[in-house]
Structure 1
Amino acid sequence: MVKVVKFNIYKYRLPLQSEFRISFSATSYTEGLIVEAFDENGRKGYGESSPSSKIVGTTTDSALGIIRKIAGDILARDLSPWEAYKQISSSVIHNGDAKAAIEGAILDLYCQEINQPVYKCLGGYRDFFITDMTIGIKSLDETLMDVQKYLEEGFTQLKIKVGEGPEKDVAKIKAIRERFGYDFVLRVDANQGWTFKRALKIAKELEKYEIELIEQPLKYWDLRGIKALRNQTSIPIAVDESVHTAIDAINIIREDVADVINIKIMKAGGILEGLKISLLSESAGIKNMIGCMLETRLGITMAAHLVGLTENIVYIDLDSDLSLRQDPVKGGVEHLGGGKRKIPNKPGFGVVIDKSQLQLVETIEQGRASEYF
C-alpha cells in the first residue's frame, strides 16, 4: 500500500535536436509535466505527463488542472496500485497523460517499498529490448542523411514519417531501399495523413520495398476505411490514434480492423491500462506496438516497464528521449547504442531528476495547495 502525503508538480520545456514534423504538426521543443509524490517515509516517486492537443486532447495547462484534481482525490489514502488505478480512472474521463503521471509516481513509490523494479513488481520478465528510431518528415536529402547516420550508429529498425502525398512518400521509401538495401527493418507512419484512395495507391507501391507495417494510414475514426485497406494490401496495418484505452482496443478487435495495436501510456492513462490493452490484444491474436509522444527519459522509462510486463509487445518505438538536446532525467532505462535498451535492476523506475531544468509550478498537500506561477 502507498499513502501519498505531498505532490510537487514541475513543468519542463526542452529543445529537440532538430525540428520534428509529422503529417499534421511540427515542433522544435517538447513541453510537459513531471509529478513528484512523497510517501510517509519521505520516499519520492515520479511520473510524467507528455500532453498532445491533437492526439490526447490536452495541453500542459489542462493537464496541470487534471493532475491537481486527481492528486486531491488520492492524497493521504492507503492505496494498492490497482486501487490507485481504479481511483485515477474514475476521477476523470480521457486525459491519459495526466492519469499516467499520477499512476507512474504511485507505482514508483510502491515498487521502491518492495525494493523491486516496477516491471518485476508487477510480474514482468524481461529487461532488454530493441527500439526503432523515428525520422520525421524532412526533405529527401535530409531523410537519407538521417538514415545513413542511424544505420552507422547501429540501429536495425527505422520508422519513417510520411504523409506528403503518393509521389513524395513512395519516392522516399524507394530511395532509402535503393541506397541502403534491405538489411534493416523499415516501418512507415502516416499519422492519419492519407485518404483511402491515396493510402491504397501508396500501400500497393510500397509492397515491393519490404515494409514491416504501415501505421495509422487514415483518420482515427475511419475504422471501416482502415479495415478495407488492410484487406487490400499485404503490408500489416497498425492503428495508433484509433486506440487510447482498452475499450477502443475491444472495438478494433471486434471489427477485425488491424493487425497491430499501438499502445502509448500517454493515450491509455498509464502502465496498467496499457497492460489491459496488451492482454486483450494477445487474447485476440493481435500483436502490439508501443510508442511515445515526446517524453523525457522518465516517460520512456515508464513505457519500458510496460514492455517488461508482456511478450505481446513486439514492435517497439521508444526513442523520443534520444532526440532531446538536454534531458533532466538520469538513470531509468539505458540506451546501450543502436536502439538497444536495458531496464536497470533498481527499485521503482530508478530515475534521478535534475530539478534545475524544471519549473516548480504547484505543491499539493493535505489541506492546502500552493501555486508558484
Structure 2
Amino acid sequence: MKITEVRLGLISVPLRVPFKTALRSVSSVEDVIVEIHTDTGAVGYGEAPPTGVITGDTTGAIIGAIRDHIAKTIIGRDVDDFEDLMIALNACIQKNTSAKAAVDMALWDLYGQLYKIPVYKLMGGAKKSIVTDITISVNDPEEMVRDALNAIDRGYDCLKVKVGKEPEKDIARLSAIRGAVPKETCIRIDANQGWTPKEAVRILNGMQEKGLDLEFVEQPVKAHDFEGLKYVTERSYVPVLADESVFSPQDALTIMQMGAADLVNIKLMKCGGLYNALKIASAAEVYGVECMIGCMLEAKISVNAAVHLACAKQIITRVDLDGPVLCSEDPILGGAVFNEKDITVSNEPGLGIKGIEPGKIKYLD
C-alpha cells in the first residue's frame, strides 16, 4: 500500500453556543482536513484545528507544513514501513504539531485498514466505550448555571468548567454551579494558564474550603512554568492536571520526574499525534501517573482518533472529548458514535472514517 497523494480541505462547523475560555472566544470549528490516498484506493483521514493561541498553529501554517514538508516526505512510501514513516514525519519539520497530528492519524488509519483491524485494537484494545465530560464556558454565573443544568438534563454527570479570566469571580461562578447541580455531579475546572502560582494556591484552597468539591484543576499557571506548576501541586487542596505544559513525551517525562503535576493531559494536537501520545501513555504507566485524553475545538475526525487511544490504554482514566457534541452538526461519516456523554469506538478497520458529507468540505486543490 503506497502513498500516492496528500489532499487538503477545509471544513466549517458551527458550535451550539460560543466557546469561551481565559484565552479566546470561538463560535465555530474551522479545521484543516487531510486525506492520504494510496495505490490500493484506500484513503486515510486526518484533521487539525488552527489553535494558534495554544499550539501556535494557524490554518496557513498547517497547510504550509503539510504541503511544503510533510507531503514530500511521505509520498511514494509504503504504509507497511510504519515505524520509518513515523520517524520521518516527526523529523521532517520542527514543531508544527497540529499538522503532524493530522497526518499521523491518517497514517494510523491506513495502517489499520492494511491489516483489517481497528486502531484501538492495534494499540491494546482495553475497552470499547468511554464517557466524556462536557465543557462549560466562562460567562456570567447565571448563564453558566443555565449551561450546567442543560448539560445535566442531557445526561452529563461530569462538568469541566472554564475559569481563570477574573479570579475573584471564579469562586462565585463555581459556587452558583455547585449549588444548582446534583450533589454527586463531578466538577473539574480549567484555568487555561490564567493564574500565578501563589494566586492559584489561594484560589483553589479557598474553593475547597467553601465545599466546592473539585476533582482537579487543569493548567492553573503558564505553560512554561514547570516550577510554578510544582509549587501549586505541592500546596493545593485540589489535584493538578498538566495540559499546555505537555507538548511532547519529553515534557511529560520531565513533569512526572519533578512531581510537578498529579495528572497529565494528552492532546494529539500538542504532542503531534498518536505515535507520540503512546509514548506519553507509556511513561505515565511507568510513573503511575493517570492521564486524561483531551481535545481542542475539533470536529469528529481528530477526536475520533483520540477515542481510539482512550479505548486502547487503561492509564487514560479521564476523558474530555466533547468537541463533536459542542458542534451543532456532524458532517463526518463513520467513526465513533457520540451519544452525548457516551462514546463508542468503531470496530471498522483503521479509524473507521468513511468520508465527509458532500458539500461540507472545500478542497484546496
Tell me if both proteins adopt one fold, taking TM over 0.5 as the criterion.
yes
Kindly tell me the number of residue pairs found equivalent between the two proteins.
Answer: 360
Which aligned pairs between 1:327-338 and structure 2 lie closer than 5 A?
A: 327-337=330-340
Which residue does 1:55 correspond to in 2? 54
Pairing 1:271-310 to 2, within 5 Å after superposition = 271-310=274-313
What is the aligned partner in structure 2 of residue 215 from structure 1? 218
Aligned counterpart, 2:74: 74
CA distance in 2, matches of 1:180, 1:77: 54
Q: For 1:98 and 1:3, how far apart are their aligned partners in 2?
A: 21
Q: What is the rounded CA distance, in whole Å, between the counterparts of 2:123 and 2:288 in structure 1?
A: 23
Question: How far apart in 1 are the matches of 2:6 and 2:235?
Answer: 51
How many Å separate the matches in 2 of 1:123 and 1:316? Answer: 17
**3-state SS in 1 of match to 2:329:** coil
Q: Is the 8 A contact 1:14 1:326 kept in 2?
A: yes
1:318 paired to 2:310: no
Greater mean alpha carbon deviation, residues 319-328 or residues 284-293 = 319-328
Matched residue SS, 2:151: helix
Whether the 8 Å contact between 1:165 and 1:198 is mirrored in structure 2 is no
Q: Give the unaligned 5+ runs of structure 2.
A: none
Contact 2:124–2:313 (Cα < 8 Å) also in 1 = no
Q: 1:326 to 1:163 in 2, by over 3 A?
A: same
**Superposed displacement of residue 197, structure 1:** 2.9
Report what 2:115 is aligned to.
114
Whole-Å Cα distance in 1 between the matches of residues 49 and 285 of structure 2? 27
The alignment yields a C-alpha RMSD, in angstroms, of 1.3
Q: Tell me the equivalent position of 2:143.
A: 142
- For 1:232 and 1:355, locate their aligned partners in 2 and report how far apart those are by CA, in whole Å: 53
Q: How do residues 357-372 of structure 1 correspond to structure 2 at under 5 angstroms? A: 357-362=360-365
How far 1:316 sits from its partner (Å)?
0.6
How does 1:18-37 map onto structure 2 within 5 Å? 18-37=17-36
Aligned-residue offset at 1:165? 2.6
Distance 1:326 1:194 in 2: 34
Partner of 1:356: helix, strand, or coil? coil
133-142 or 325-334: bigger deviation: 325-334
**Counterpart amino acid of 1:9?**
L
**Secondary structure, aligned partner of 2:364:** strand
1:348 aligns with 2:363: no
What's the CA shift for 1:312? 0.6
8 Å contact from structure 1 (residues 166, 201) kept in 2:
no
For 2:135 and 2:347, the matched residues in 1 are separated by 27
For 1:202 and 1:351, the matched residues in 2 are separated by 43
Residue by residue over 1:224-252, the C-alpha shift from the partner in whole angstroms, topping out at 9 and shown as x without a partner, is 11111111122110110000110111111
Partner of residue 178, structure 2: 177
CA displacement at 1:281 relative to structure 2: 1.3
Q: Which piece of structure 1 moves more, 183-192 or 73-82?
A: 73-82
The question of 1:7 aligning with 2:6 is answered yes
Residue 365 (structure 1) aligns with? none
Deviation above 3 Å: which 4+ runs of structure 1? none
Q: Distance in 2 between matches of 1:124 and 1:3?
A: 27
Instruction: Write the letter of the residue equivalent to 1:78.
Output: D
Could you say what secondary structure the match of 1:29 adopts? strand
Which one-letter code corresponds to 2:346 in the other structure? P
Distance of 1:254 and 1:122 partners within structure 2 = 25
- 5+ residue gaps, structure 1, are 363-373
Instruction: Report deviation, 1:355.
Output: 4.2
Give the structure-2-normalised TM-score: 0.96
Match of 1:34, SS state, is: strand
Q: Which amino acid aligns with 1:32?
A: D
**Mean CA deviation greater in 21-30 or 184-193:** 21-30
Question: Normalized against structure 1, the TM-score is what?
Answer: 0.94
Aligned residue identity for 2:212: Y
Q: Is the 8 A contact 1:213 1:237 kept in 2?
A: yes
